Amino acid sequence: MRKEKTCIPAPAVDALVREVIARVADKWTMLVLGALEEHGTLRFTRLAEFVEGVSQKMLTKTVRQMEADGLVTRTVHPVIPPHVDYALTPLGRSLGAAFCGVWKWAEKNHAKVEASRKAFSKKHSG
């Protein structure tokens, strides 16, 4: 049943890939990525506005993680009031491009998902 030529990685690097997937397959990571891709360089507060619903703690944690992973740059301007800019690195942009398919999928299919959800909850209530 194994598909011959899709997107399955070689067995050797499988664990590494899974680890990276587990890291980037995070809703805040994806949403930060999307916000930075759409709006370009953003300051912390502005980023928080676009990634609606995120707490400061999670946003801080997420951008730090993304910085560590080489997905974003974090530029601190030593002025008062503080000014910190976040921007995608080339690596981050390439990940954004890779996620593009998922965005388009969500855009196209969110109605189906919602319909399935409704049918499922109805089936479980009845």
Partner DNA sequence: CCGGATCCGGTAGGATACTG
Partner DNA sequence: CAGTATCCTACCGGATCCGG
Q: Which residues bind DNA (CB under 7 A)?
A: 43-46, 53-58, 60-61, 63, 74, 76, 78, 80-84
Residue 61 contacts its own copies per CB under 8 A = no
Residue 76 contacts its own copies per CB under 8 A = no
For residues 23-52, which are near its own copies according to CB under 8 A?
A: 23-27, 29-31, 34, 37-41, 52
Residues in Cβ contact with 82 at an 8 Å cutoff, skipping those fewer than 6 apart: 76
Chain residues binding its own copies by CB under 8 A are: 1-3, 6-10, 13, 16-27, 29-31, 34, 37-41, 52, 67-70, 91, 94-95, 97-107, 109-117, 120-121
